[in-house]
Structure 1
Amino acid sequence: MISIEGTISTIEISPEYEEGLYRIELLKELDIIFLFDRSQGYDLKLHPRGDPEIPLAGVFGTRSPRRPNPLGLTRVRLLEAEGGHLKVEGLDALLDTPIIDIKGVVGKEFSWSSLKARPGAVRPVQRRAHK
């Protein structure tokens, strides 16, 4: 098994989307959605990791790149954000893989008290009644 922990990658953002990175450095983790552009075809049942010693499993219960909709999702640790470049740890994708979207992670460990260390990271949402 290949470990991606400790693997450092740089994600390059097209100039027209750089403004969307505004204040991303306030986050610790990101979800990266990408396209398995080199994967062809799929099987609905497969041996995980291609190992026939591992019992068959449905494709939706595995991390196989051979999928009906060839999308990948990996949670990474954000190390640095500079200009249109994000330095991340743990990206489970090949070199030059197309990135479809990036989403900031705000997990259960988030609390309002954590904002003291990072003022302005998040503003409270005001709820309005819809008429």
Structure 2
Amino acid sequence: MIHLDPIGRVRSTLTRREHAPKQGHEGAPEAWLVFEPRVVPALANVKRGDDLLVLTWLHEADRDTLQVHPRDDPRAPLTGVFSTRSQDRPNPIGVHRVRVLEIVAPTELKVADLEAFDGTPVLDVKAVIDRIAER
């Protein structure tokens, strides 16, 4: 058994699937990651300008969907969800690359490029590591 406890929620003006861009860089509004007070120490050293990977639970996803028309284009052939970024999938974990715009409060980060809906549970946050900088 796997048990996941959300560490926060998304606060966004995006409230409906049909209004959300397919990817954050395709016009997502600025949004906020609102964290549980218990995880504030984990945000130490996160700063404005950082790129982060935000893992979410896509709570409005259809978990029975195994194939989709990519980008909801009915002309595209049906494709297995594991080779797409569809939110509809057996375990709807979202991965979003965002940029920190502002640290609003100890529990709130304002971010760019987040296409998740308002109220989406946040599962984890990870730093983006640039491969070039690693070498």
> Shorter-chain TM-score: which interval?
0.7 to 0.9
Once residues 37 and 67 of structure 1 are traced to their aligned partners in structure 2, the CA distance between those partners, rounded to angstroms, is 11
Once the two structures are TM-superposed, the CA of residue 36 in structure 1 deviates from its matched residue by: 0.8
**CA distance, structure 2, for counterparts of residue 50 and residue 33 of structure 1:** 22
Question: How far did residue 42 of structure 1 move?
Answer: 2.8
Greater Cα radius of gyration, structure 1 or 2: 1
Structure 2 counterpart of 1:4: 24
Q: Deviations over 1:17-68 (max 9, x none)?
A: 1111011117620000000111233322221122211112111111111101
What fraction of aligned residue pairs are identical, expressed as a percent?
Answer: 34
Alpha-carbon distance between aligned partners in 2 of 1:26 and 1:75, rounded to the nearest angstrom: 14
The higher-RCO structure (CA 8 Å, 6+ apart) is 2
Structure 2: distance between partners of 1:94 and 1:17: 22
2:47 partner SS? helix
Is the 1:10–1:87 Cα contact (8 Å) retained in structure 2? yes
1:108 maps to what in 2?
A: 131
Verify: 1:86 aligned to 2:109, yes or no.
Answer: yes
How big is the shift at 1:84? 0.9
Query: Which structure 2 segments of 5+ residues have no match?
Result: 1-19
Structure 1: tracts of 5 or more residues without a match? 113-131
Give the TM-score normalised by the residue count of structure 2: 0.73
- The answer as to 2:79 corresponding to 1:57 is yes
Aligned residue number for residue 57 of structure 2: 35
Task: State the match for 2:98 in structure 1.
Answer: 76
Q: Give me the whole-angstrom Cα distance separating, in 1, the residues matched to 2:134 and 2:128.
A: 13
TM-score w.r.t. structure 1 length?
0.75
Counterpart-to-counterpart distance in 2, 1:31 and 1:19: 18
